[in-house]
Amino acid sequence: MNMDSSTALAADAHLIKAIQSGDERALSQLYRLHWPMVSHFVLQNSGSEDDARDVYQEGVMVFYEKVREGSLELSCQIKTYLYAVCRRLWLKRLTNKSRLHGVRLLDDDDYGPYLNTGAEDDLQEAEERDRRFATMSEALTHLGEPCRSLLEGFYLLDKSMQDLTAEHGYTNADTAKTQKYKCLTRLKKLFFASYKEA
Amino acid sequence: MQTEADYYALFEAYQRGELAAGARADLEARLSADPRLHQRYAEFDELTSTLRTYGERRRTRQTISDLHASMLAADEAPASESTSTGLTHSVNPMLRISRTEQKLRDFWNGHRATMGVAASVAVLAVFCTLLGLEWWRAAQTRPSQYGYTVMNREIAKLKQGQRAITAKLNGSAPAAPVIENKYSGTGFALTADGYMVTSSHVIQGADSLLIEGRDHQRYHAETVYSDVKHDLAILRIKDAKFDGFGRLPYTFKAGQADLGERVYTLGYPREDVVYGEGALSSRSGFNGDTAFYQVSIPVNPGNSGGPLLDAQGNLIGVVSGRQDDAQSAAFATKSSYLVRLVDSLKSKQPAQPYHLPRANQLAGAGRPQQLKRLQDFVFVVKVYE
């Protein structure tokens, strides 16, 4: 048992290192490895296959972002961490859509002490970030064209200024740049207005 | 005066490290000196970094959902391969579910709790109904208690059987259908002019009563009074052509009979009159009820309401029931209660006065002689519901 968990931890550490360096195959391996666990858990707790997929992708995203930032402090195995995150996420969705107030989940004992995994804090952080992204997405929609595609092209899709100049039909890169800064000031107003209000 | 956009151009150049050393030092000095400028820079930084991480997030989401799709595709490919190449490895059963089964499973998963609750409510309702019915029926057939059977007879079955046999013997079709009585018991004359006694459970729930004597003389009767507690009922014959029973040969004992006295009864547990003999075995009845005697006479359904007499021909009780789990333990209401009941009815100005017999003509006679006289005053009480 001890040997098992220590080898598992070693394998986890290896996997995390690989994912942090941007290895897509490692992420894919991790994704496949823990999918049956989460899908089983959600299906067992009155969820559908689609619910399971949503919850799992959300959970993996939290994990992945923490790994990429290098701020993941893992005190347990990856599968326990993922189980805890997905469990929390699913509980939240269930409570939201359920008329019954007390929702009780059937747990798999194999994935053991899912509390104190640090998952709660990470999730809260992720939710805060989600809220920020939602506000940003809304602000971008309100911004209108051509500001939106200009900013999205530059910041979100990492296009070069030259490409964008050609795409939007500006006479030169400087005009495009000036336009971009103007758009940014407008976006700033929209974003901070609704973000602080929320 | 610089516009906001100009500042943004400056900030961006600063972040990218495109500013000349002099300009950079100048900007840094201004940032630390001017809190408003610093605030502006912080907002610019937050905005652009949010934009960049948002882009990052969208790419990650895409990557992960691609992962899911490729995982499903990878899982399906070997599954279909294995069917063609003959099972080389086990197939994930989750993916082999048909669409309808999947739907059923989803439905079951979604409504498991609700269906559980519904099922238990249904089961509960069924049991409550059954229990309630049982309870209601038990309440209907008082004074039967646990282990105590009242002796009225469910005659319909017996009679139908007998009719069938007679019909077979005679080789003739049965007569036009008559309304069959449901229960029958025994009753006996209380006064010469038409009052009768039987057990109250015999006539319980009766629509109409028919009295039938040994000579198949039939009379209609009505209930005058019914005392459920002592299991006594007073009937009165209401036929116009009825002209009295004649002189009653027995008297009603007002006191109590003694333990061990020889007693006997006449009754109609079947079509013919049946004699039963025994001794008075206790001066209290079922569960110590002092309104009853216990007698060691074998009684059967139909004996209820029959007279209980002692050796001298005094009427000492009215047969009521028996105990199921004891050998030949029958119970009879004490005649003292009957006498008291008649006394109380007398004071209520009855339609017809009660003249209880005073002289006992049975004393001293042999048992067959006693019975010969007695059986003209013992009747079948037929109950129609």
- Partners of B72 on chain A (C-beta within 8 Å) are none
B366 occurs within a structural domain:
yes
How far is it, in rounded angstroms, from Cα B134 to Cα B137? 5
Q: What is the pLDDT of residue A170?
A: 77
Together in a domain, B89 and B167: no
The answer to whether the complex's ipTM is over 0.90 is no
Together in a domain, B89 and B175: no
Together in a domain, B74 and B194: no
pLDDT for residue B361 is more than 70? yes
Domain count, chain B: 2
* Cross-chain Cβ contact B67/A31 below 8 Å: yes
CB A57 within 8 Å of CB B64: yes
Together in a domain, B86 and B225: no
* Cross-chain Cβ contact B8/A191 below 8 Å: no
CATH code of B225's domain: 2.40.10.120
Residue-range domain boundaries for chain A: 2-116, 144-197
* Cross-chain Cβ contact A31/B68 below 8 Å: yes
Together in a domain, B218 and B308: yes
Identify the bridge partners of residue B149 per DSSP, sorted by sequence position.
Answer: B322
More confident residue, A113 or B258: B258
| SS3 label, residue B224 | strand
pLDDT for residue B351 is more than 50? yes
Domain span at residue B81? 1-96
What is the average pLDDT score of chain A? 79
Which residue, of B81, B96, B111, is where some domain finishes? B96
pLDDT for residue B86 is more than 50? no
Q: How confident is the model at residue B327 (pLDDT cuts 50, 70, 90)?
A: confident
B319 occurs within a structural domain:
yes
B312 occurs within a structural domain:
yes
Together in a domain, B181 and B59: no
Together in a domain, B223 and B337: yes
Together in a domain, B282 and B364: yes
Name the residue among B196, B205, B195 with its Cα closest to residue B228. B205
Q: How confident is the model at residue B279 (pLDDT cuts 50, 70, 90)?
A: very high
In A, minimum Cα distance to B49 occurs at A155
Together in a domain, B290 and B377: yes
pLDDT for residue A111 is more than 60? no
Dump pLDDT digits (tens) for A124-135. Answer: 888 888 888 888
- Partners of A31 on chain B (C-beta within 8 Å) are 64, 67-68, 71
A2-116 CATH: 1.10.1740.10
Together in a domain, B76 and B178: no
* Cross-chain Cβ contact A57/B53 below 8 Å: no
Which residue, of B64, B96, B128, is where some domain finishes? B96
B139 occurs within a structural domain:
no
Going by their DSSP bridges, the two strands B232-237 and B195-198 should be labelled as antiparallel
Return the DSSP state at A69. H
Q: Is the pTM for the entire model greater than 0.80?
A: no
Which residue, of B47, B74, B96, is where some domain finishes? B96
Q: What percent of chain A stands above pLDDT 70? A: 85
In A, minimum Cα distance to B11 occurs at A181
Letter for the amino acid at B193?
Answer: D
Q: Which residues of A17-45 are buried (b: 16+ CB within 10 A; e: fewer)?
A: ebbeeeeeebbbebbeebbebbbebbbeb
Rounded to 5, what percent of chain A is helix, strand, coil?
75, 0, 25
